[in-house]
Chain A
Amino acid sequence: MQTTLTVNGQAHGLDLDPRTTLLDALRHHLELTGSKKGCDHGQCGACTVMVNGRRINACLTLLCMHDGDEVTTIEGLGGTGAPSALQEAFVREDGFQCGYCTPGQICSATAMLDEIAAGWPSHVTDDLETAPVASIGEISERMSGNLCRCSAYPNIVAAILKVAEARK
């Protein structure tokens, strides 16, 4: 199935078996191995990427469903030379141990902070009509789709909170 999409600002045309997930297309065909395969069932969040600015599980969607879409992976957020604010904060706050879930955590957190900025409420937001504010409780709830089996959660939340507070 022919699919044309933009990944990290670069246009790609791929003609692959329709069974190919977006995640497998990124990792095996575009050599963008930053996005990780954890559970492959949308439960762990290691494969989180942004499609048209929104975070999704790349393992639970087919490449062919994304004709014309714009995808951003961890490689598109920054690198060793020019890390994003969240990447820098994860290093500074020691927001990981083995690092396998980290690309998904950072992609997820990047889009999640945009969701807070856009005023999206969460399960723990007291008032649905008041703009939410990033807090430990809000971040933990909103990041529950990203598991960390090393359980680096306190430092992951601390890193995200640092960036959220710097943006205020």
Chain B
Amino acid sequence: MKAFDYIRAQGVEDAARQAAEGATFIAGGTNLLDLMKLEVMAPDRLVDINRLDLAGIEEEPEGGLRIGALVTNSDLANDARVRRDRPVLSRALLAGASGQLRNKATTGGNLLQRTRCLYFYDRDMACNKRRPGSGCAAQGGVNRILAILGTSEHCIATHPSDMAVAMLALGARVEIRTAAGETRLLALDDLYLLPGDRPDRETVLAPGDLITAVLLPPPAPGRQTYRKVRDRASYAFALVSVAGIVEMAGGRIARADLAFGGLAPKPWRDPRVEEALRGRQPSPDLFQAAADILLAEARGHGANDFKIPLARRTLVSVLQELTAEAQA
């Protein structure tokens, strides 16, 4: 690990100022320290934000939930309001990482974790995300775990989070405190950038921007599920995952909020898929048509071609599950 200066943040303002001057935030550290040991990331200065007062989960007057950026993945998964009203989020968190990691990993850090692309981790390999302009060895390489949607010729990495996929389906917004002291709210989908020709740029955050909370709207009616397909039954990243919230009315799909993990460089949501389901009676043909829309632009890279049919089957299965009662 390269040497660095370490500072304990004295408050949110202090943390943001340090970061605006070039320091890197550290919260749980479960991804950052891993990358620092490999020298994939080598910050000169770390600002420790763990003691900031951002670890609470509060119910908002209109029924929404404000989740502090330092709430651990364990505490969020176990929160009674999340378990009862937003089970898709509990399920997604519990499907991720291990008990030890969930106890340390935070809400803000989970959103900002880096890809687990093997070529990003291996400093001897070309990677445009790690070293812009060096190329992408994953294309034509070992790319079984990598993306089929939203990629570019420069990068096919996936975003690894389960939590963010569930939050995207739930319509989460991210609260950001800027270095100038302003607070802004961003739809979670707008936090992330697609790789394009700058895969090293992953979010719209500017230096000094600190995620302070994630805001969830009041609970949505309907059934929720998080389906994760992976190489091991536990403690593995998603090959494909689907977060689904479906509300039925009179035998028809009143609303379907769907988000996907393991498929793209960011948690993926496609409003055209949801539009195609809205107001329709559930049927195998309808589900296949929804998958056609989701995967119309999907492109495999050899070893990950299987993700295209896997994503189709997983989506169809989730839709069957979430509409089953109404069908029966």
Contact = CB atoms under 8 A, between A and B. Distances in A.
Contact of B100 (A40, A45, A122, A123): A45
Given A65-B29, A123-B94, A56 B83 contact: no
Nearest to B26: A65
Contact of B104 (A56, A128, A129, A146): A56
18 contacts: A1-B6, A17-B3, A18-B4, A18-B6, A19-B1, A19-B3, A40-B37, A45-B98, A54-B103, A60-B34, A61-B104, A64-B48, A67-B8, A119-B78, A121-B77, A142-B99, A144-B234, A145-B101
Nearest to A61: B29
A48 interface: yes
A125 B91 CA distance: 10
A102 interface: no
B46 A57 contact: no
A140 B30 CA distance: 22
Interface string B220-237: 000000000000011100
Contacts of B29: 60-62, 65
A112 interface: yes
Interface string A88-128: 00000000000000000000100110010011111101001
B234 A42 contact: no
- In this complex, the member of B48, B87, B90, B94 whose beta carbon has the largest number of chain A beta carbons within 10 angstroms is B94
Given A18-B5, A42-B30, A144-B235, A65 B48 contact: yes
A42 B34 contact: yes
Given A41-B37, A42-B30, A128-B90, A19 B235 contact: no
B99 A112 contact: yes
B4 A140 contact: no
A67 B51 CA distance: 10
Given A62-B29, A112-B99, 12 more contacts: A18-B6, A42-B34, A54-B103, A60-B33, A62-B26, A111-B99, A115-B99, A118-B78, A120-B78, A121-B83, A123-B94, A140-B234
B235 A62 contact: no
B154 to A, nearest CB: 27
B95 interface: yes
B104 A108 contact: no
B33 A61 contact: yes
B203 interface: no
Majority DSSP secondary structure for residues of A touching B: loop
What is the size category of the interface that chain B forms with chain A? 35 or more
Interface string B16-53: 00000000001001100110010000000010101000
Interface residues of A, number: 40
Contacts of A40: 37
Interface string A36-75: 0000111001001000001111001110110100000000
A33 to B, nearest CB: 20
Contact of B101 (A42, A65, A115, A121): A42
Nearest to B235: A144
A57 B29 CA distance: 11
Nearest to A143: B99
B162 to A, nearest CB: 10
A57 B28 CA distance: 11
Contact of A129 (B83, B98, B101): B83
A121 B103 CA distance: 14
Nearest to A41: B34
A62 B130 CA distance: 24
Nearest to B82: A128
Ranked nearest first, the 4 interchain pairs of A and B with the lowest CB-CB distance are A145-B98, A18-B6, A144-B234, A144-B235
